[in-house]
Amino acid sequence: MTSAEQLNRARAFLTKAEEYLASAEDNLIAERFTPAAGDAIHAGISAKDAIATALTGTTVKVKDHAAAAKELKTALGTRPEATNAEKALRQLISAKGDVEYGTALITKVKADPLVRRARSLVDLAIRIVRLGG
């Protein structure tokens, strides 16, 4: 893949991440906490895809979402944000089962931090993909 193709793919993943995050934030304001949490999870995963694609040229799509956090940390390498980004994505992914497949509704107490973690990952993706940092 050429670097132009790589950047276009990374930008597409970033757009998805931003759309999911906007939806998560809107749902949080509207007190729809379960969809807010679900959208936050998808925003974080799409942000990971954007970051990994921008930095390595590819991203892995596997059923084992836990591998996504490792992929993110590997893509970020020695950047100071690597450990916090990996932790944020792990926390988002660990909530995926309860949010998407559990029977309990998600509360504001659980949704708030998920949306914040997603915001941190999307902000990092913006810096890397759009700002070249």
Per the confidence metrics, is the pTM higher than 0.85? yes
Average pLDDT for residues 106-115, to the nearest whole number? 97
Exposed e or buried b per residue across 14-28, where buried means at least 16 C-beta atoms within 10 angstroms of its C-beta:
bebbbebbebbbebb
Residues 46 and 121 sit within 8 Å (Cβ to Cβ): no
Residues 100 and 65 sit within 8 Å (Cβ to Cβ): no
pLDDT over threshold 80, residue 87? yes
CA dist 103 and 17 (Å) reads: 26
What pLDDT, in 10s, does the model give residues 3-61? 889 999 999 999 999 999 999 999 999 999 999 999 999 999 999 999 999 999 998 87
pLDDT score for 83: 96
pLDDT score for 80: 95
Q: Tokens 């998805």 sit at which residue? A: 16
Encoding tokens for residue 54?
Answer: 């921008």
- The pLDDT confidence band at residue 84, using thresholds 50, 70 and 90, is very high
pLDDT over threshold 50, residue 1? no
